[in-house]
Chains A and B, each alone.
Chain A
C-alpha cells in the first residue's frame, strides 16, 4: 500500500533582495525587489507501507522543505502530495493524528519542564485514553531507556538524552508514519549508534513507515532500505540502498602488503596510499593516476615500497586481473578489497552542479558512456597492465 505519494511537488520561496549601498537600500524601500527561489522542483516519488526511506541531499537541496510539505507545515506552490491518503495541507489536523515528526534542530518538549510533562500534554493533544497512555509511556520509557530523565527539566538533559526523549514522545500516539529530519545532528558517535538502533527497532517492531533525512551516511546505511537523493530541488537518485551501493560501486579499494619491498608501477591504476620501505612514511598519492610511490617527490619515486592501497575503477580494469598482477609482484602478506565508502558516492552526487549532472554522477554507467563519447579515453573492461 502506498503511504506517501508526491506528484510534481514544487515549492517556490519569494525572497526580498537587499541591495548593497545606501541609495540602493533606500530605493528598495520604495520599490522592493524580489527573487523567486525554487527550493523543490517537480519532485515525484512514492513510499510504500513499512518502507524505511532515506531522503538525502546537501544543504539547501530541498529535503527539509519536502518534509515540511509532507507534514502539512508548508503549502506547496505546485504539484500535489498525499500521505496516508490525505492531503497534508488541507487535512493537516486529521493527518497529524497518524504521523509523528521529529525535527532534530527543533524541540517539541517544553524546555523548562521535565519530559514527563510534555508526554502528559502530548497524550492529551492526541486524545489518548489515560490507561493506554500509561501503557504506551511505560513501554517507550523502557525501550528508550529514558526512565532516569523523565523528571529532569529538558534544559538539563544532554542532546543525546533529549533526542531519545523527542523520538519516544513522537511515538506516543503510535503513528503509522514517522518523519525524522536530521535526528542525529550534533550527536556523538555513541548517541548516534543508540538512536540508529532505536530507529531500526521502530521499523522492525512497530512496522512504521520511516521517512528520514540526514547528512550522516551512517544513519542511512544502518537504518534505511531505500534512498532518494535530492539535489538542486530535483530527485536525482531513487533506488534501494543495495542498488545504490552496487550501482555506484564502480570503485574498489585494494590494499596490499608485501613481505619484501617491491618496486613496480601499474599504469593507469591509482594508488591512494603508499608505505615506503625506507621509512615508515605513508605517502598520499597525487591524482596523476600512475602507480608506485608517486605521492612524494624524489625519494618516493625511486624508493621501494612495502604496502599500498589502490583505487581501482572497475569500468577500466577488471578486478581479478589487478589482483593477479599484484600477487605476482611478490610475497603478499595481506590483501584487502573494499567497496568505495557510501559517503564518497553521495559526495560525488552532491558535488555535481546541476540536478542533471548529479543524476549522471549517481549512475556511473551513464557517466562512463558519456565520458567515453566525449574523450574516447575510457575503455571499460581493459585489464591492468604490468609496468616496470
Chain B
C-alpha cells in the first residue's frame, strides 16, 4: 500500500489530498488531474477574477440574459434549490451585502443604514431569472451580483472527487482549508471510514464532536476569521441574506451528506437559521446529518442530528 499527498493553493485556501493505493505513479496522476479540475473551477467561479464566467455574468446579467455553460447553469439551479429549501437562508446573491459590510476585500466594517438597505434590496435569488431552455441568467435589478463563495468550494471538491473515482481511486480524502471535505472509501487502517473531529469554536483544543465519513462529504462553517468588533459584539463574514446583517448567535455548524456541494451550502445556511428552522432543513435532504452550536449564557447549546456530541448541553 502506497500513499501520495498533494496540495494546491486555490480559492484563497489550501486544498490537500491524501490517496492510498498500489501504484504511486498512477495515484499521483489521478490526484494531479483532480486538483487541476479545482484550479479550473476556481478560474470559472471566482468572484474576484475579472475573466471568470461568474464575473461575466455579474457584469452583464442586469442588462439582459447571459448564456452560461451547462455545468454553471446546473450549479446555479442547485443554489436556487437550496435557497428554496432553506427559506432564503442560503443565497448566492449576497454579493452586494458582502461588499457593503466590507467583507469583499477586507475584514468588515459597519455600513450606514442607507447603504445596507440599498444592498439588501439588491439581494435575493427571487430577483435572478434562470431560463432552463436558453440556459441563461438575468438579474431583475442593476447592481446585483452572484457570489458562489458559500458553495463553490464544495462544488469543486465534489467534482474533483468524481475525477478521482474515474481514475480508479478507491481510498482518498480531499479537503479545502479543513472546512469542506470528501471521503472516498476508507483509509487502509480503519474500515469504518475517515475519522473527522470538529473543534470547539470557543476552545480549539477541545473537540465538539468526532465522527467517521466514508463515501460521503462533510463541511463545517463558523463566522470566525474575517470579523470585526462593534458594541462588544463580534460581527463575522457570514451574512444573513434575509435580514442583511452578519449572523449572531450561531457559533458553528457541521453537515455530513453524500454531496460536498450540498454540505458546503447547508453549513453556511444553518448559521443564518434559528434552531427550529435548522432542524427542519435536515429533514429535507435525505442522508444528511447536522450539528449546530449556538452561543448561550455560560455555555453553548448544541443541537445534533445524527452526530455524537461530546460536551453538549442540549442534545436531541
Bound pair: A and B? no
By a beta-carbon cutoff of 8 Å, the part of chain B in contact with chain A is none
**Residue positions of A touching B, CB distance < 8 A:** none
